[in-house]
């Protein structure tokens, strides 16, 4: 259970560490050849992205291991829940159909004393059942987040092609991904922002590659799209705070003008 996912993430960590070594070697060559500064900057961004990936991979491994442990514990709890539910349901049906007459005198005598305990036990059992259903929904949300994280990893690990047409195809894919997801201001939507940020960084790398290939028209197009997206990011992430500030400003002006008494 989750062993394959953990193994894949461990392999991804090794790949990211290898990418860091390659980037450092490339940066050393750029320094020797006195390449333009943006080559060094791109290498630094790539290394930082790989470091963030490693942290993310390790957090996800820890999450998988925790989930694995919880599911083991939950499995035991659910088995107990089923047994208790079946036992209590059987008793309820038996009493409804046959009444207390079928019970031995001893069982009838202790029925009153046990009622309170059984009632408390039933509450505890159904509470566990409710918790189980809640955890199922939580696992569903985690799967969505893991799906976004995987897309982000794929974007970061995608190499920039050497062919102009291939680069522009990648650019179009990145633009489509950002337009489909954008940026969000909620705390629970960081995985969406991470994907869009990864696409934006990859677009900047495409621009640098096009400039190095002397494809000025394509590079200018990508540069303009990046500027638009950065404005969009600023608006989408912080518009809610601008809106709140605007409402406070309107309220303050209304109060000063005596519209509010």
Q: What is the mean pLDDT of residues 30-36?
A: 79
Q: What is the CA radius of gyration of the chain?
A: 30
Nearest residue to 179 via CA among 235, 234, 239, 232: 232
| Tens of pLDDT, residues 167-210 | 999 999 999 999 888 888 777 778 888 999 999 999 999 999 99
Q: With a cut of 80, say whether residue 222 has pLDDT above it.
A: yes
All structural domains of the chain with their residue ranges: 1-155, 158-261
Query: How confident is the model over 56-111, as pLDDT tens digits?
Result: 888 888 887 887 777 766 655 555 655 655 555 555 445 544 455 444 554 545 55
| Average pLDDT, rounded, for the chain | 75
CA distance 257 to 261: 10
User: 199 phi and psi, to 5 degrees?
Assistant: -65, -40
Non-local (6+) Cβ contacts of 53 within 8 A are: 12, 16, 153, 156
> How far, in Å, CA of 254 to CA of 107, rounded?
75
């Amino acid at each position: 259970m989750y062993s394959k996912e953990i193994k894949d993430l461990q392999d991804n960590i090794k790949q990211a560490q290898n990418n860091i070594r390659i980037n450092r070697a490339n940066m050393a060559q750029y320094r020797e050849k006195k390449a333009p500064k943006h080559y060094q900057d791109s290498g630094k961004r790539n290394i930082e992205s790989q470091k963030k990936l490693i942290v993310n991979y390790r957090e996800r491994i820890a999450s998988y291991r925790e989930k694995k442990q919880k599911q083991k514990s939950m499995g035991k709890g659910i088995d107990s829940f089923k047994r208790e539910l079946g036992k209590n349901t059987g008793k309820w049906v038996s009493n409804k159909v046959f009444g207390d007459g079928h019970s031995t005198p001893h069982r009838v005598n202790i029925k009153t004393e046990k009622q309170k305990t059984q009632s408390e036990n039933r509450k505890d059992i159904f509470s566990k059942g409710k918790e189980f259903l809640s955890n199922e929904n939580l696992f569903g949300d985690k799967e969505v987040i893991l799906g976004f994280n995987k897309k982000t990893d794929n974007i970061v690990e995608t190499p920039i092609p050497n062919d102009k047409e291939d680069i522009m195809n990648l650019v179009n894919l990145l633009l489509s991904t950002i337009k489909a997801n954008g940026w969000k201001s909620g705390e629970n939507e960081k995985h969406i922002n991470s994907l869009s940020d990864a696409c934006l960084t990859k677009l900047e790398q495409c621009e640098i590659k096009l400039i190095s290939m002397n494809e000025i028209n394509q590079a200018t197009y990508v540069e303009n799209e990046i500027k638009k997206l950065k404005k969009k990011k600023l608006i989408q992430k912080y518009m809610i705070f601008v809106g709140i500030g605007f409402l406070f400003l309107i309220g303050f002006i209304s109060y000063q003008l005596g519209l509010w008494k």
